[in-house]
């Protein structure tokens, strides 16, 4: 399983037009187009903003951890997530999140030792002008299922 499989495995994300811009170990960035994500006020729908930010945790985990090798049988899960809306979003919204190398190593070691590795991921969402429109904080896990 790799990060490119992540978006296609959740059909609603494709329906929203989310586009993965960059994904590599420890980093994920995606874009959310205005259509079909505009609400009745003409700004980006809050649920769409949340979705593009939340899915970064899964993409980042798929790109960062060897879920086909040493962590085979593990999956990325979201445990908790909050969002803070700062201003109405217009146009294309870019969401990005990253984990440090030290945090990646800690999560990997925990997953191997106890069957799950938990991490907190902060995502920033910006509009076409570079203004922050929202931010999220999510608690994620790579966890062995079964």
**Cα distance between residue 86 and residue 138, in whole Å:** 17
- For 36-63, the pLDDT digits (tens) are 999 999 999 999 999 999 999 999 999 9
Whether the model clears a pTM of 0.85, i.e. scores above it, the answer is yes
58: tokens are: 């899964």
Q: What is the pLDDT of residue 111?
A: 96
Q: Rounded to whole angstroms, how far apart are CA atoms 138 and 126?
A: 17
The chain-wide mean pLDDT, for the chain, equals 93
Predicted pLDDT of residue 10: 85
pLDDT band per the 50, 70, 90 thresholds, residue 1: very low
Asked if 121 and 60 count as a contact pair (C-beta separation under 8 A), the reply is yes
**Contact present, 59 and 6 (Cβ < 8 Å):** yes
Across 19-33, average pLDDT: 96
């Amino acid at each position: 399983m790799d990060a490119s499989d992540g978006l296609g495995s959740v059909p609603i994300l494709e329906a929203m037009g989310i586009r993965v811009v960059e994904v590599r170990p420890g980093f994920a960035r995606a874009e959310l187009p205005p259509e079909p994500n505009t609400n009745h006020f003409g700004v980006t729908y809050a649920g769409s903003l949340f979705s593009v930010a939340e899915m970064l945790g899964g993409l980042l985990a798929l790109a960062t951890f060897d879920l086909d090798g040493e962590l085979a049988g593990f999956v990325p899960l979201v445990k908790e997530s909050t969002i803070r809306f700062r201003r109405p979003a217009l146009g294309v919204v870019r969401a990005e999140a990253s984990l440090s190398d030290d945090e990646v190593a800690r999560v990997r070691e925990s997953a191997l030792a106890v069957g799950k590795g938990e991490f907190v991921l902060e995502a920033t969402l910006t509009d076409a002008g570079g203004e922050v429109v929202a931010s999220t904080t999510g608690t994620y896990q790579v966890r062995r299922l079964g």
